[in-house]
Chains A and B, each alone.
Chain A
Amino acid sequence: MIKLTHVSHVFAGRQGEVHALDDITLEVRRNELVTLVGRSGCGKSTMLRMVAGLLRPSSGTVTVAGEPVGKPRQDVSFMFQRAALLPWRTVLDNVLLPVEILRLDRAAKRRRAHELLELVGLAGFEKRLPHELSGGMQQRASLCRSLIQDPLVLLMDEPFSALDALTREELSIELQRIRMEREMTIVFVTHSIEEAVLLADRVAVLSPRPGRLRKIIDVDIPRPRTLGRNAYADRVAEVSAELHELLMPAPMAPEGAG
């Protein structure tokens, strides 16, 4: 579904060029959920923006559904770290914003918007303004907005990282439920190991400066997954430990050795 081939990206920084991504090759299969994990500055968000068509790679190619990505596509939607709701629009009108811009069928999408809001537990809040909602509810509304165009691909850039731990887990579980209702290819950027294990079919680990693909780990734990009491605790712990080792720097060699 998504294919990155030898993708590199170089920013013009203040002190010369910054290599944000270096020779990334990655394929995301249809209906697969891949999480990108890595420390800050490893180019996770840059990768996502390239798939979204918001940024062009310096070299290499990015394709979605077999077509090279030139500009943002209607069947790819992007969810940001912040809810980015328009403060003057009600929740419902915020969810319908893409419908207006993309000129989709309003009546049908209105019904769909109500369904989606119901699905994430926002039924009854359609007429509220964003500032009347809590952070978690705002992010739920934002999730509905990114689903309204029935995308084939959903790109999520640390969407739950600004929320408290419990709300965050709640939303992760809701995302799994939405995936069961409707199949979608999802690329999910996070720096949380827990979130990566909870959601992913595969976890792609990136190393920073320059951003390189370090390892891809299959997470073959049955769904639905939760972080609480869990029949597959051993397997979850094992994957988490592996990710932890990959992300944390190796302990320094003792002084005087060698």
Chain B
Amino acid sequence: MTAVPRTRRIGSRATRRLVDWGLPVIALVVLVALWWLATIVFSIEQFLVPAPDDVIEAFIGQSGFLLEQTWVTLLETVQGFAVAVVVGISTAMSIAGSRLLEKMIYPLLLAVNAVPKIAIAPILVVWLGFGPFPKIVMVFLLCFFPIVISTATGLKSTPAELTELVRSYDASRLQVFVKVRFPYALPQVMVGLKTAISLAVIGAVIAEFVGADAGLGFVIVQSGASADTPLAFAAMALLGVISIVLFYGLNALEKVILPWAEENR
């Protein structure tokens, strides 16, 4: 009697890590070099496409200001996302728990989701002003649907054999939910969260474009107006960093709390 080995991949851990991280880094370096070369060869004006060193200069020159704005955007993103997680998962639970609610709410949700949320941004400013609040609402709106839909799907995908198993112990609805349905849905919930976190940053930036006095989106709009393209590029790079950190943070969290998920899907 033998157990299935824990890992099936070939190659030592160190080699794998080198390949996983090394190759994308090489690609990045090549891309930046090409960009640099293009700005020199075609002698492109700085206010059109700044060279990498201009961007770095802009970042170093105004690093305090930029980090402050990054913090503003990050905070809006995380707050909106957190609200969407709480409201989204509870909504999905009520949808999955009651057929009546499902039939009532689901079509409505899909219809509302079909409205481009960006269209609401100016109205949010009218309603809620220029502070962080309309941004949080925008982030929430973008994150809410993927979370609801994937959580509801996960909650409805419990295999029949597991449902029958707990039924044979005459388990209560709460027990079935806590012991089987919810944990079983978690990998699917994570899929929704990962989709949502990528949208969250977009939501924050859109809201900042429309009306704001702080945040990276605001910096981009301002530097566009004053043709300070290197600063806009630095702000874009920081937005990219926020997105990547948040996404891989969720990824790491998934690996820690759902070690079984990868093997079962």
Contacts and interface: CB of A to CB of B under 8 A. Distances in A.
B3 A133 contact: yes
A101 B171 contact: yes
Contacts of A215: none
Interface in B162-176: 162, 164-171, 175
B263 interface: yes
A82 B1 CA distance: 19
A245 to B, nearest CB: 34
**Contact count band on B:** 20 to 34
Contacts of A137: 1, 3
B20 interface: no
* B3, B165, B263 interface centre (most CB from chain A within 10 Å): B165
Interface string B228-262: 00000000000000000000000000000011100
A166 B7 CA distance: 26
A102 B6 contact: no
A100 B169 CA distance: 10
Interface string A126-158: 001111111011000000000000000000000
Interface string B167-197: 1111100010001100110100000000000
Contacts of B175: 101
B12 interface: no
Contacts of A86: 162, 179-180, 183-184
Nearest to A137: B1
Interface of A: 52-54, 71-74, 77-78, 80, 82, 84, 86-88, 97-98, 100-102, 121, 125, 128-134, 136-137
A73 B179 CA distance: 19
B6 A132 contact: yes
A100 B179 contact: yes
A82 B168 CA distance: 15
B161 interface: yes
Closest CB pairs A-B (n = 6)? A131-B263, A78-B168, A72-B170, A84-B161, A101-B169, A87-B260
A77 to B, nearest CB: 7
A83 B199 CA distance: 39
B179 A97 contact: yes
B161 A101 contact: no
Nearest to B163: A84
A132 B171 contact: no
A72 B167 contact: yes
Contact of B264 (A78, A101, A131, A134): A131
B19 interface: no
A86 B163 CA distance: 11
B169 A98 contact: yes
B226 interface: no
Given A131-B4, A131-B263, A134-B1, 8 more contacts: A54-B167, A72-B167, A72-B170, A80-B161, A86-B184, A87-B260, A97-B179, A132-B3
B15 interface: no
Contacts of A82: 161
Contacts of A131: 4, 260, 263-264
7 contacts: A72-B170, A73-B170, A80-B161, A87-B263, A101-B179, A134-B2, A137-B3
Nearest to B162: A84
Contact of B1 (A54, A87, A130, A136): A136
B170 A80 contact: no
A7 B113 CA distance: 52
A84 to B, nearest CB: 4
Contacts of A130: 260
A125 B3 CA distance: 9
Given A101-B179, A137-B3, A129 B169 contact: no
A30 B180 CA distance: 33
Given A84-B161, A86-B180, A133 B168 contact: no
